[in-house]
Amino acid sequence: MIKIGIVGYGHLGKAIEKCIAHFPDMQLFATFTRRDPNSISSHSRVESYDRINEFKDDIDVLILAGGSQKDIPEQAPFLIADFNTVDCYDNHDKIATYYKKMDEIAQANRRVSVIASGWDPGLFSMQRMLMEAVLPNAETYTFWGPGMSQGHSDIVRRIDGVKYGVQYTIPSDKMMEQIRAGQKVDYTPAKAHRRDVYVVLEENVDTEKITKEIKEIPDYFAPYETTVHIISESDFTANHQGMPHGGYVIRQGETSEQTKAKYEYSLQFDHNPEFTASICLAFARAAHHLYNERNFGAKTVLDIPLRYLSLRDHNYLLERFI
């Protein structure tokens, strides 16, 4: 049995606790939180993050389920000295720097750190690389959604006067169809997606001012076609509690002149944290495998043999999947 520890009990931490039931070779040892463990309502063991090093011999792989902005950059370099880790760090611009730092510490301490797993980065990264390798003369396009973006929803909720809020990212069907038909498109993320925001407002606030404020948030909303819907609390409670998401990676081009080829990969899931948690767990299996063969250091999803993710033995893989 691979003994798993979870660091952080937010959406992802809770989802790992739940989804591990589908991974028969794994068991949850404990979840570690920076809050008072007694304040956490969980059916499994919860310990204080301050005491985590006391459990270094009880855990094979720690899954870091904290936020990418602040938690992982602070926790991961400290934890990798005593544990093997898996995270789904998703700050795309800083992944190369993060990799270098984690690789140095993991090598020095003879540990394995799987970084930036999840679906994007993660499964989508694997597909983007594979698509380019097999279809060099082509263009790759990534579309996210339709789905609820946790990061954009958080930004909306921080605006004064917003009581509850959620943001859905909607990819352009028209642009996807043009790409699938082999037409040239002027792709930028802002042209390829629109944003639908649903908010419940506090009483006596200026609706127009808040709508304008949301639409003008640089980078997150301003470059996108954004629609803000003001809804009632009962509508929000009844219709906006799910966390569905997904997306598409499409590569369209030619294998030779005038001979077209399209390679498309898509994901749809009802619950973003649960799907991400399941990916982290498969990569925790790979981390354990790498550690057992003394293949230390930081690894991305592109550095790990695919079969290390599987529960199956090599013969089974040969007979069923090749």
Ligand X SMILES: NC(=O)c1ccc[n+]([C@@H]2O[C@H](COP(=O)([O-])OP(=O)(O)OC[C@H]3O[C@@H](n4cnc5c(N)ncnc54)[C@H](OP(=O)(O)O)[C@@H]3O)[C@@H](O)[C@H]2O)c1
Task: Note the residues at the interface with ligand X (CB under 6 A).
Answer: 8-13, 33-35, 49, 65-68, 71, 88, 90, 118-122, 150, 272-273, 276
Give whichever of 42 and 107 is closer to ligand X, judged by the CB atom.
42
- Tokens encoding 91: 């700050």
Q: How far is CA 18 from CA 4, 44, 229, 246, 284, in A?
A: 13, 10, 33, 20, 15
Q: How far apart are CA 151 and CA 131, in angstroms?
A: 28
Q: Give Cβ neighbours of residue 153 (< 8 Å, ≥ 6 apart).
A: 165, 166, 167
Q: Which is nearer to ligand X, 55 or 135 (CB)?
A: 55
**Nearer to ligand X by C-beta: 15 or 135?**
15
- Closest approach of ligand X to the CB of residue 204, in Å: 28
C-beta closer to ligand X: residue 221 or 283: 283
Q: Residue 64 or residue 138: which is nearer to ligand X going by CB?
A: 64
Q: How far is residue 173 CA from its own chain's centroid?
A: 23
Least CB distance to ligand X at residue 174 (A) = 26
Contact between residue 280 and residue 26 where contact means Cβ atoms under 8 Å apart: no
Q: Give the nearest distance from C-beta 298 to ligand X in angstroms.
A: 16
CB 304 → ligand X: shortest distance, Å?
Answer: 15
Please state the φ and ψ torsions of residue 126, each to the nearest 5 degrees: -60, -40
Rounded to whole angstroms, the Cα distance separating 162 from 209 reads 11
Which residue's CB is nearer to ligand X, number 91 or number 172?
91
- Alpha-carbon separation of residue 71 from 2, 79, 107 (angstroms): 25, 12, 22
CB of 8 to ligand X, least distance (A): 2
Residue found by looking up tokens 């994901």 in the block: 267
* CB 118 to ligand X: min, Å: 2
- CB closer to ligand X, 122 vs 297: 122
CA distance 13 to 8: 6
User: Rounded CA gap, 287 and 302, in Å?
Assistant: 13
Q: What is the number of other CB atoms lying within 10 angstroms of the CB of residue 11?
A: 17
CB of 143 to ligand X, least distance (A): 15
Q: Which is nearer to ligand X, 152 or 195 (CB)?
A: 152
Q: What are phi and psi of 7, to 5 degrees?
A: -110, 110
Q: How far is the CB of 316 from ligand X (least distance, A)?
A: 28
Angle at 146 between CA 144 and CA 147, to 5 degrees: 90
C-alpha pair distances (Å), 93 with each of 22, 44, 97, 129, 285: 33, 35, 9, 17, 27
Q: Are 162 and 199 in contact (CB under 8 A)?
A: yes
